[in-house]
Structure 1
C-alpha cells in the first residue's frame, strides 16, 4: 500500500491522526490568543512587540508554506508530516522557557515553519487518500471542523492555563503533539516505493518569505512610521514578489507552477481565504485586548466569552455537508462571507461598558460564517487539482490563510496604535475586518454566478435527453 492509496478501513484512522494535528494547530493559536495580556505582563512587551508574538508564527507558517507543500509532493507526505511534527513539538515547548520577548518571537517563528511543512503534508494525505467526491468532501469538512474545535477548546484551555501561568500555554501542546506523533508513526502508511527525488526551489522559497515579511512590516509600520519608510518597505515587498514570479517562470522545478494559477476557482478560493483569515485574526486580536485591557476581564472570562465562535466545530461535519450537496461550495462561501461582514459590523459601535449579551449575536454569526466558509474553501482550493500537485494546492491555500492573518494583525495593530485612546483605536480598527469581509464576498461572487450557469446548462441537457 502506498501513502496515496489508503485502504477504506485505514482511511478513517489516518483521518483521526490528521485531525489531531490540525486540532493541535488550532488549540495552539487559540491558547496563545487569550494568553497575550499575561505574556505582555510577564515579559514586559509593548503592543507592537506583542503583535509580533502572533505575527512571527504566521510569518513562519505563511512564508514557508509553499516550500512545505512542494516538499510533501517531492519527498513524501508521511516523511514531511512526521518529521516536522516533531520540530513543532520541540519548539512549542521551548517557547515556554523564554525569558525575553525576542526568544519567544524566535521560538514562535520556528514553530510556524514546522507547521508550514506539517500542515500541507497532512492535507494532501487526505486529498490523495480519499477518492474525489462526497467521501473526500466529508473528510475535508470533518478536518476543518476539527480545526474549529481546536480553536474553541484552546480558548477555554488557554484561559485555565494562563491563570496558572502563561508558560503552561506552551508546555501543554507538547503532550498532545507527542500522542499525535505516536499515532502518525503507527497509522500513516509509508510509501511502498521510493519517492521521486526532486530539486526544491530554495531561491523561490527565500524570495516569497522575504516578500511576506516586508509586506507585513510595511502594513504594521503604517500607523506609526513615516510615509516614506512605509512606502519603501511595501515597495520592496512587492518588488520581491515580482522577482519571485520571474524566478518561478524560469526555474526547472518551480516552487509554484504558475500554470496552476490559471484556475479561476483556485485563485478565488485563495484570495477569499486571505481576506477572510485577515479579518478574523485581526478581529479576535482586538476583541481579546478589549475584553481584558478595557473591560478588565480575566483570561478565563475572555475564553468563555469567545467560545461561542466554536459552534462551527459542530456545524461543519453535520450541517455543512448537506448544504454543500444542495447549494454548492460557491454559494456557501459567498453567504458565509456576508454573514462574517454582518458579524463584524455589529461590533463597530463598540462601547466601554458593553454587556456580553450585546456581543453575543456578532460572535454567534461569526461562528456560523466560519462553518460556511472554511470547509468549502478547502474543497474549492483543492478540487480538480492533479494528485502530484495536491501538496502545492494545500500549500497555496494555507499560505493565503497565514499571509492574510499576518496582514490582518498588522493592519488592526497599525490602525489601533494611531489613536491615543485605546477604545477609540479598537473601534476604528474594527473597520479593517469589516471591509476585508465585504471585499472577500465580492471576490467570491463570480464563483456563484459560474456555478449557477453550470447548473442551468446541466438542467437543459437533462431536459433535452428526456
Structure 2
C-alpha cells in the first residue's frame, strides 16, 4: 500500500499532455481509448496496492527475510519512479499507442514471471521488469486520453477515468487479499494477464496512433540512467545495511554510487536540451514549496503504510482480505470529499489547506502508534485511517492546483510530471529508510524482552538468526507451549515497537511538510482565470 490510490497530479498529466493532433481521434474510437486507458492504468493501480497485502504470504512461502520482502516492493517502485518521465517522452517520440502497448506487454510478461517465481530473487528481478513496463504503461494510458479527447470533452473523460481509478483503488487490495487467502499469492500477479490481453486487443483494433508535438526535442536518457542509479544506490544501502552493516564494502559502494549519481543527475539536468527536471522550475517559490511538501508527506505515506498490512496480518492475526479492506475508509473519504477539497484553494488560497491538511495527516499517523498487540481494528486502527484519510483529502487537490498554478500553461505538463514522480520517489526512499528504523527498534526491543523473560541461550540464538524476518520470524523448535506463546508475544511486541517509531517518524515528516507550506507557499487565493477547473485536479 505504499502507493495507495492515484499519485498527485495524475489527472493533470492527462490535461496538459495534449498533442498537436488533438481532436483527430474518430468519435467511434473514443470509448475504446477510454476503456484501454482505464483497464491499463488499473493494472498498475492494483499492482501498487495488492503486493503489500501478499507480502506476508510471499515471505513465508519463499522463506524471505523482511529486507528481501522490501525489495519485492522497491524493485518495481524504483524503476517506475525513475523512468516515468522518460516513458511519457518515448510515447511522444515513437507513438503513444505503440509505447503503451509495449508497456502493457512487458508488464504482463513480467507478471507471469512473478507468479512463476520459485525464489525471492527471481521475484525481485521480475518485479523490476514490471517496473519498466509500468513506466511505459502509466504515462501512456494518460497520454491516450489526452490525444483522443479535445479540451471541451476531456473533463468528462477525466471524470470517468478518475471514478474507475477510485473503484480500482478500493477493490484492488480486497481482491488481492481474497486471492491470497483462498488461492495463492501468485494469483495477485497472474490477475494482470487477462486484463493485459484485453487492453492489447482494444489497442490493436480500436486505438489510433498519435505523437506528441515535442517529438523532435530529444530524450533525456542520461538523466534517466543517473536518476535510476542515484535512487537505486541509496535504496540498496539502506535496505541492506541492517543485515550487511554500514561498514560493509557493498553497502558503502552502493551509497557512494547513489550520492555520486544523484549529483551527476543535477549536473546533467543543467546541460540537457530537454531535461527530465528543468531546474529553473525550482526557483519558483510555490512550485519548489509544493514539491518539498510532496517529498515529505508522500515519504510519510509510502513509508508508513508499507508496514501497516504487515502489522495487521503478521502481528494482529487478520486475514489478507481484511487487511486489504483496512484502508477502504481512507479511499472512500478521498473519493467522497475530493470535489469539496478542490474548491479550497479558490476560497482560502493554497497555503492554508496545505498547512492544515498535512497537520491533520500528522495526527492520523500519530494515532497509528497507539494500538498494541491484539488491538481491535474499529477502536485501534479505524480512527487513524479516518483522520489520515481526511488530512490527505484536504491536501491532495490543493497540492495539485498549487503545482499547476505555479507555472504557465506551456510548462504545466512538465510540472505535473515532476510532482508525480517526486511522490513516487519519496515512497521508494522512505520504505528503505524506515526499514532501518524498524530493524533497529525491533532488534533492541526483542533483545530486551528475551533478557527480561529469561529465555534460554538456545532460544535466544535461534531468534537471532530469525530477526531479519521481523514479525515473520519462526519460533524455536521443541519449546513447550507456554514458552512458544511468550516468544511469539515478544516478537509481536518488538514489531509493534518498530511500527510505533515508523508512524511517529511519519507524523514528524507530515508536520515538516505543513511547515514547508507555511514558509514557502504564498497565501493569496488564485485568480479565477488561473485556477484549473475543479474536476481537473487531484
For residue 223 of structure 1, report the CA deviation from its aligned partner: 4.5
What is the aligned counterpart of 2:505 among 429, 432, 435?
A: 432
> Which residues in structure 2 correspond to 1:253-332 (within 5 Å)?
253-312=274-333, 314-315=335-336, 318-323=339-344, 326-327=347-348, 331-332=352-353
SS at match of 1:98: coil
Q: Map of 1:310-459 to 2, 5 A cutoff?
A: 310-312=331-333, 314-315=335-336, 318-323=339-344, 326-327=347-348, 331-358=352-379, 359-382=381-404, 392-418=414-440, 419-420=442-443, 421-446=494-519, 449-452=522-525
CA pair 440-81 structure 1, distance change in 2 beyond 3 A? farther
**Inter-partner Cα distance in structure 1 for 2:190 and 2:334:** 25
Against the structure 1 CA distance between its residues 383 and 174, is the aligned structure 2 distance closer, same or farther, given a 3 Å change threshold?
farther
Q: CA RMSD in A?
A: 3.5
Residue 491 of structure 2 corresponds to none
Counterpart of 1:241?
A: 262
Q: Distance in 2 between matches of 1:172 and 1:65?
A: 23
136 and 88 in structure 1: CA distance in 2 versus 1, 3 angstrom threshold: same
Of 358-367 and 11-20, deviating more is: 11-20
Q: C-alpha separation between the residues in 2 aligned to 1:306 and 1:171? A: 23
Tell whether the 8 Å contact from 2:290 to 2:521 is kept in structure 1 after alignment.
Answer: no
Task: Report which of the two has the higher share of helix.
Answer: 1
For 2:370 and 2:144, locate their aligned partners in 1 and report how far apart those are by CA, in whole Å: 44
8 Å Cα contact 2:95-2:211 kept in structure 1? no
- Does 2:158 align with 1:158? no
Cα distance, 1:51 vs structure 2: 0.7
Partner of 1:46: 65
What is the aligned partner in structure 2 of residue 4 from structure 1? 22
Q: How has the CA–CA distance of structure 1 residues 313 and 450 changed in structure 2, closer, same or farther, with 3 Å as cutoff?
A: closer
Deviation at 1:130, TM superposition (A): 6.5
Q: 1:268 & 1:119 partners in 2: Cα distance?
A: 26
Deviates more, 1:5-14 or 1:331-340: 5-14
Whole-Å Cα distance in 1 between the matches of residues 26 and 264 of structure 2? 45
CA apart distance, 1:109: 0.8
Distance (Å, rounded) in 1 between the aligned partners of 2:158 and 2:342: 10
| CA shift digits 1:270-302 (9 cap, x unpaired) | 333333322222222221111111112211221
1:56 and 2:75 correspond: yes
CA offsets 1:123-147 (integer angstroms, 9 cap, x no match): 34556766779x8677657655544
Structure 1 unmatched runs, 5+: 459-466
- Higher Cα Rg: structure 1 or 2? 2
Distance in 2 (CA, whole Å) between partners of 1:15 and 1:312 is 25
Contact 2:22–2:150 (Cα < 8 Å) also in 1: no
Deviation at 1:232, TM superposition (A): 6.3
Deviation at 1:78, TM superposition (A): 3.4
Partner of 2:109: 90
